[in-house]
A and B are shown apart, each in its own frame.
Chain A
Amino acid sequence: MLTIRKSGLQTAIQDLGRSGFQRYGVIASGVMDPFAHRIANLLAGNAETSPTLEIALSGPVIEFEADHFIAICGGDLSPSLDGEPLAMWRGHFVPKGSVLSFGEPKRGARSYVAVAGSFDIPAVMGSHSTYLRAGIGGFQGRALKNGDSLQTLALPAGRMEALKKQNAQTPDWLIPPARYHEQPIIRMMPGRQFNLFNEASRKRIFEESFSVSANSDRMGYRLEGPELALEKQEELISEAVAFGSVQVPADGNPIVLLADRQTTGGYPKIGQVAAVDLPLISQLKPGESLKFRHISVNDAQQLYIEQEQQIRQLKIAIQMKREEWT
């Protein structure tokens, strides 16, 4: 069991999102940085789909009421255990009574804490993700508060010993040095309505730099930069949007739709961020900036497949090692 001593800015349980219900208007929710979430779970011996704690900017204080094994991945929010800095991207045994806290956000905006066995909470519509606005999923449909206690599921016999001996780490090849950079290059496919934008906008989107507005959240990041406009103003027919769709409302400032996006939208989409680069956006803090670079759908699929293969490799390596120790 873990107890939340201080909740932090926004700490909530998320997984890879609520799939299959978007056709009923139910938003997907889920983690903002699926890559970090999945790696954290693998290092903790969990399935990639298990729920983790998503922590934003100013982290919580968590007391472990039993022996646990955890891994923290994602943005560096200066995690420490009983005051000692705790390395990220690797597993750690945390004994009963120890306290996890976070400090200054050094790089990135969100961290993911996976606990071996994962959290014992009911799934709603097939997912453990917290959907704050509807008050469903996660822990009682809300962000965590001071004093909340989270139960974890029991580990298979011998698992804790195996995890401790293994002390899994993420290999360097899997964490590119440019990850969570303050000024990332984001690869973007032309959006469904790309050709409705005027020539200047179609050029500027791939040339100039955009900064993340303070008015940004899990639903979407508002960007500020050169103004973008359609060739001629027209009303569009609402259609599906996706994680990473870049839509442009009439004010000309693009919005990158993220985890808590609506299912459909009527604004023209100038682009679609490649899935492999979504974490780079989700980890930006207001005031930081980015540039878009053109990528084709085919190349974005190739990158997606390569990343999936890398994650699978890590998964197999961790499992094999653990079996050696069991």
Chain B
Amino acid sequence: MEFTFSPLSEQALVIETGTIINKESEQAVRKLSALLEKEAPDWLIEFIPAFTTVTVFYDPCRLRQAEAEQELTRLMAQLDEVEAPAPRQIEIPVCYGGDFGPDLRFVAEHNGLTEEEVVNIHTSGTYSVHMIGFAPGFPFIGGMSEKIAAPRRKSPRLRIPERTVGIAGMQTGVYPIETPGGWQLIGRTPLRLFVPEQDIPSLLRAGDEIRFTQIDEAEYREQEAKRDADHS
């Protein structure tokens, strides 16, 4: 595996695992993340994994850029012995349409489908989480069928409620916290994707395999109530 280093700043170094998104570059990112978590060198402030990069933050008072590269190269010699964590299977229940998914009809009409067909296609796929970023616990998800692809809204909404499921182009995703955004909204999940009180505050992790399942509004309310009771 070939890696390249380049600075993001005087305090951060980007390790690139590839120049295109594929299984190899993503697997290398996961292995690197696992290595940095396990070894946790004391000069490491934190790291941010993405699709094809892991960015490492350090304190220049402790080591300069060349030394940071040396330290990382030394550490990465062990990379072959590191196992990336096995992918977890996670089910995300979604209440589609209605007030929770005001754009379900648009997505259906845009693709010449019925709303029910859109839901069937959305729930029949297996998706994988490429990375977490942009917002707390926000997953970049790959694997959506192009049959339900839909362009972003021309004017973004100022407020999208937390846990809303949306579609933008070929991507589907879930907004963990209230955010402005231009995605087409198709439903909402009772699951919290951002859980600040837990050690790992993100429900999802890079590498996870997820499926969406359909629930009705009564089930949605029940799961939401149960979730809130568990947290109080």
Contact = CB atoms under 8 A, between A and B. Distances in A.
Given A192-B6, A240-B53, A25 B134 contact: yes
B12 A304 contact: no
A125 B196 contact: yes
A298 B65 contact: yes
A124 B196 contact: yes
A26 B136 contact: yes
Interface string A173-206: 0000000000000000100100000000000000
B50 A238 contact: yes
Contacts of A245: 8-9
A24 B49 contact: no
A258 B20 CA distance: 28
A301 B60 contact: yes
Contacts of A274: 10
A238 B10 contact: no
B20 to A, nearest CB: 8
Given A192-B14, A239-B50, A264-B134, A305 B60 contact: yes
Nearest to A297: B7
B225 interface: no
A23 B33 contact: yes
A157 interface: no
Contacts of A308: 61
A304 B53 contact: no
A24 B202 contact: yes
B10 A297 contact: yes
A298 B68 CA distance: 13
Contacts of B6: 192
A24 B12 contact: no
Indicate the member of B55, B140, B179 with the most A CB atoms within 10 Å.
Answer: B55
Q: For the side of the interface on A, what is the size category?
A: 35 or more
A134 B177 contact: yes
A187 B14 CA distance: 21
Indicate the member of A240, A245, A269, A305 with the most B CB atoms within 10 Å.
Answer: A240
A24 B131 CA distance: 9
Contacts of A253: none
Interface stretch (B40-48, B76-84, B87-95, B210-218): B40-48
Interface stretch (A14-22, A61-69, A87-95, A96-104): A14-22
Contacts of A265: 134
A314 interface: no
Contacts of A298: 64-65
Contact of B11 (A23, A133, A304): A304
B10 A25 contact: no
B60 A25 contact: no
Contacts of A26: 136-137, 194, 196, 201-202
Nearest to B195: A24
Interface of B: 6-12, 14, 20-21, 33, 45-53, 55, 57, 60-61, 64-65, 131-138, 140, 176-179, 194, 196, 200-202
Interface of A: 19-27, 124-125, 133-134, 136, 189, 192, 237-242, 244-245, 262-265, 269, 272, 274-275, 297-298, 300-301, 304-305, 308
Q: Which 5 residue pairs spanning A and B have beta carbons closest together?
A: A264-B133, A240-B55, A240-B48, A300-B10, A24-B202
